[in-house]
Amino acid sequence: MMKTTAALTFLLLFGLGAPSLAEESSAQSGESAPVVDSEEGALFRTFGVGMFAASAGDLASTEWGLTHPGIYEMNPLVTHREVRVSAHILVPAAVWWTTKRLREKGHDKAALWVRIGVTAAYGYVVMHNLRTAGSPRPIN
């Protein structure tokens, strides 16, 4: 299941990143296409990919933690594996789509901060999962 999840996440990332790469290459070739601003655009794309990477890390650390006795999923909405995997793909995809639309409407900084916040939140959850699953448990 984890290999499938990693493969799906990679494909989703590649699929979302492909239009941006096509726009940049057509802009470099002289065709009329939107030009991506260099520094802020790169940071925006980096945190876009970072959302998916951190989400995959959350999923992997959750699945690993659930293999330990006494560890269980505290979020009642994602107790089923299929729902958990879907959520870890759909949530970053929805944020990607929303922030891309925000940026197109001229809200560059807001869109970037949303991506930074989502990436940071997932990063915190990964650390929490690893700390929880790796902490010693009393034997009863």
Identify whether 45 is part of a domain. yes
Does 51 reside within a domain? Answer: yes
In a domain? residue 48:
yes
pLDDT per residue over 22-33, tens digit each?
Answer: 444 444 555 544
> Who wins on pLDDT, 2 or 53?
53
| pLDDT for the residue 39 | 61
pLDDT higher for 21 or 115? 115
Statement: residue 15 has pLDDT above 50: no
CA torsion angle 111 115 121 49 (round to 10): 170
Contacts of 55 (CB under 8 A, 6+ apart): 9, 88, 89, 91, 92, 122
Determine which helix (DSSP H) or strand (DSSP E) holds 44, and give its type and residue range. Answer: helix 38-66
Residue 77 lies in a domain: yes
CB 1 within 8 A of CB 17: no
Instruction: Please report, rounded to a whole number, the percentage of residues in the chain having pLDDT higher than 90.
Output: 51
| Structural domain span for residue 15 | 2-134
- 65-114 pLDDT, tens digit per residue, is 999 888 888 888 888 999 999 999 999 999 999 999 999 999 999 999 99
pTM above 0.85, yes or no: no
Inter-residue contact 117 to 125 (CB < 8 Å) = no
pLDDT reading at 11 higher than 80: no
**DSSP-assigned letter for residue 136:** -
Per-residue pLDDT, 49: 94
Total structural domains within the chain: 1
More confident call, 1 vs 81:
81
